[in-house]
A and B are shown apart, each in its own frame.
Chain A
């Protein structure tokens, strides 16, 4: 028992040291990179048969055992992320502990002796006494550095200045942003939902199928699809727009009417409704023609694909008509009250025989409810029957496929995004700069040392120091450019 008390602090401190190491960070980053490749090579969340077909049964079982079929949500990938978060937190606390007092120090100390000997310092002389330089130098530097203070020394004075101290926090902002991001993702996956619903035109729905669990969820409102429209660019099969006209219904009342297209979702009560897919509705619409007997007179409609002209002709069962523009002949053979095409219910239809001029014959189905049906034949003329009960031509009926999602973590995620961009900017392109301008005088002339340091080694700072000392030299020599033998020399 006694030994445990002695051992545990050392265990904690060695654990702390383990998690505070940058080596661990780099190993975790590279591990995540390498393992992520797996998930892009092996399909994720596919059907079991597909895995067995591609990889064989043994390897599929191995994949399931190691969660590789859904690896980005597996225990070990999540584990890597948790380790990274612990690593980031411990690292940041560890480093902040030592740098906190230096970062939030209102009166930084400058060791003049060190600055006078620092590598990269610039020295020059001026033929004036130090006292005359004190005010202009201080004013000049104070304009460029947020903190600026003059110290008096044995032979003159030294201007000490610095700026950008808080930029040392940039890296912590980046690390914090990653935690905020992951937290947002966690909140979204635990408290949010994502589901799919298909709604035929003219109908409403309030129950969605959840995507990951396979369960269903009832929304606090109904979504009614008033209309769905898909449009294509002229003369091509390139889709132009998928548009669902939706109405939100609460307690039988229409509360919101809006069109949803891709890239422009509808949000209601924090729940987003997104355009996702569409398709034709199976079976005739409720208000459609329900003929059971063949009508006495059948009106035919011909639309020429080449000229775009539309012709109508009246005829009857058993008769043959000439197709306009010399397209051949059509004999009306049969009436069917419940025609089918593959598994689609077409309702009442006329079966006719199409005879082209070249002598080819072809059986065509002309449903009363689907005037565009014959266009599928891709012939030179589209034939349809004009239905008495219904204004022709009618449109095909579609359903719209909507994704409905609720994500309470999105605010956190976006906050993380902004923090990450700002943090990267600060961490990469801002630096903590310290400057000492030391002026020593023998009463007639002065020697000036310009010396500085920054927390980011870079070529830029050296150039800045050179430019600054040039300007100071001009200032010391009364604004005139004097090139004498005592020009600046870099040590």
Chain B
């Protein structure tokens, strides 16, 4: 009767398979597994899309008052997080013709959905009054596009750091298969700019919504504060790079720190700190 959860649990394994294939192609320098990995990743992402659409449709089938866009709790947001990682990675792969980043990005998507499946709020619940707003969709979509861009940037930065620790003289090891440092550096920069724009829009849509629901556009709630902390870290990264000409390793390190802040904003705040954003706390 309710199919979305079963579709999504299958998708978890497809993402996992794609990640394994990317990793295999990278380590053993094989072309074929890489090509298959791309198709598997595409199938996983399409399955993920189907799962979200099914959940949306099924929520309305359960009754008019249950119906809502599936972005309202921890489970639904994690599933959407995997979806945004999937789409951003696939676009990057196509544009830069490089599959190595898939070895980090796909496992991240897989982890997000696998973690979601542990959540008790898999059952579709009707919305509480505070969430009944059109801003919900705009806020969640923009925030998670930002988060996912930072996640893929994190993957790229990790690749960069692996490459830079490898001895440049030796022509062996996994680092040889990593694309040129300039490409990785450029990619981090592009992804961080994309993520920064969407995080900005996400915070702003959240603020406009908060004005409507909680009377203030900013109340220094832990979630808000941590999103600002994340924003400040990436703002510093952009200034380091554009104004002080920092490149490579130092930028990669800040990008990793930035992603840690993203994770804390997303999970840490929900579990460790109390606040207004308590919808996702049940996990």
Contact = CB atoms under 8 A, between A and B. Distances in A.
A194 B244 contact: no
A139 interface: no
Nearest to B133: A263
B164 interface: no
A39 B225 contact: yes
A417 B229 contact: no
Given A265-B215, A420-B200, A424-B200, A29 B235 contact: yes
A238 B125 contact: yes
Given A410-B217, A425-B197, A233 B126 contact: yes
B239 interface: yes
Interface in B180-231: 183, 186, 190, 193-194, 196-197, 200-201, 204, 207-208, 211-218, 220, 222, 225-226, 228-229
B273 interface: yes
Interface residues of B, number: 45
Given A26-B239, A274-B215, A417-B208, A36 B229 contact: yes
Interface stretch (A239-247, A249-257, A361-369): A239-247
Contacts of A29: 232-233, 235-236, 239
Interface string B101-131: 0000000000000000000000001101110
B219 to A, nearest CB: 9
Given A22-B244, A239-B129, A30 B65 contact: no
A308 interface: no
A233 B208 contact: no
A310 interface: no
Interface in A404-435: 405, 410, 413-414, 417, 420-421, 424-425, 428-429
B130 A33 contact: no
A238 B220 contact: no
A420 B204 contact: yes
Contacts of B216: 194, 405
A247 to B, nearest CB: 21
B126 A417 contact: no
A428 B193 contact: yes
B35 interface: no
A133 interface: no
A276 B232 CA distance: 31
Contacts of A3: none
B208 A428 contact: no
Interface in A29-68: 29-30, 32-33, 36-37, 39-41, 44
Nearest to B229: A33
B125 A30 contact: no
Interface residues of A, number: 45
A262 interface: yes
Contact of B220 (A32, A72, A274, A420): A72
A274 B217 CA distance: 13
A72 B218 CA distance: 11
Contact of A405 (B215, B226, B240, B269): B215
B204 to A, nearest CB: 5
B239 A25 contact: yes
Contacts of A238: 125-126, 128
Contacts of B243: 22, 25
Contact of A240 (B96, B126, B211): B126
A458 interface: yes
A403 interface: yes
A30 B228 CA distance: 11
A242 B213 CA distance: 12
28 contacts: A22-B243, A29-B239, A37-B229, A39-B220, A39-B225, A185-B218, A233-B65, A233-B126, A238-B125, A239-B128, A240-B129, A262-B129, A262-B130, A262-B213, A263-B130, A263-B212, A263-B213, A265-B215, A410-B217, A413-B217, A417-B204, A417-B207, A420-B204, A421-B197, A425-B197, A428-B193, A428-B197, A429-B193
Interface of B: 65, 96, 125-126, 128-130, 132-133, 183, 186, 190, 193-194, 196-197, 200-201, 204, 207-208, 211-218, 220, 222, 225-226, 228-229, 232-233, 235-236, 239-240, 243-244, 269, 273
Given A22-B239, A25-B243, A30-B232, 15 more contacts: A25-B239, A29-B232, A30-B236, A40-B225, A40-B269, A41-B273, A194-B215, A238-B125, A262-B213, A265-B215, A274-B214, A276-B215, A405-B215, A405-B216, A410-B217
